[in-house]
Amino acid sequence: MTDVDAHDSIEELEERIEALAATAEACRKVLVFAKAAMCLGAFIIFAVLITPIRFDPAITIAAMAAVIGGIVAFGSNTSTLERATADIKAAEARRHELINGMELHPVE
């Protein structure tokens, strides 16, 4: 592989790493919101069942939907985050191989 090809491959890998890092960050944000939705929904269900708050079916259904939606979003984004992290590690390893394979000369 020539140096020009290696430079192009390294540049493509760096772009891929940046895109995967953005995906991972978005997943982390969704995970925070999913956890908040699950906690809030569970709290509302608990409050309706335990306290003398007037039972409102719409609020209870919304709370159950928040819990279920939070579980789904948490599971989906957890697997996406794990996949993105694994892809980042693989791309960084490949980039490291390409850089080490180049005949770089120290600049003095």
User: Count of domains in the chain?
Assistant: 1
Distance CA 12, CA 98 (A): 12
Is 66 a member of any domain?
A: yes
pLDDT of residue 29: 96
Rounded CA Rg of the chain = 23
- Indicate whether 92 belongs to any domain: yes
- What's the mean per-residue pLDDT of the chain? 89
Q: What pTM was estimated for this model as a whole?
A: 0.77
Identify which has the larger pLDDT, 5 or 66: 66
The answer to whether residue 1 scores a pLDDT higher than 60 is: no
Q: Does 89 reside within a domain?
A: yes
Q: Tell me how far CA of residue 45 lies from CA of 6, 37, 62, 71, in angstroms.
A: 58, 12, 9, 15
Residues 6+ apart with CB under 8 A from 100: none
Q: Which two tokens stand for residue 61?
A: 């259904």
In a domain, 106, yes or no: no
Q: Please indicate, yes or no, if residue 91 is contained in any of the structural domains.
A: yes
Q: Give the separation between CA 43 and CA 67, rounded to whole angstroms.
A: 10
pLDDT in tens, 23-71: 999 999 999 999 999 999 999 888 888 887 677 788 889 999 999 999 9
Is residue 107 in some structural domain? no
State the residue range of the domain holding 20: 3-101
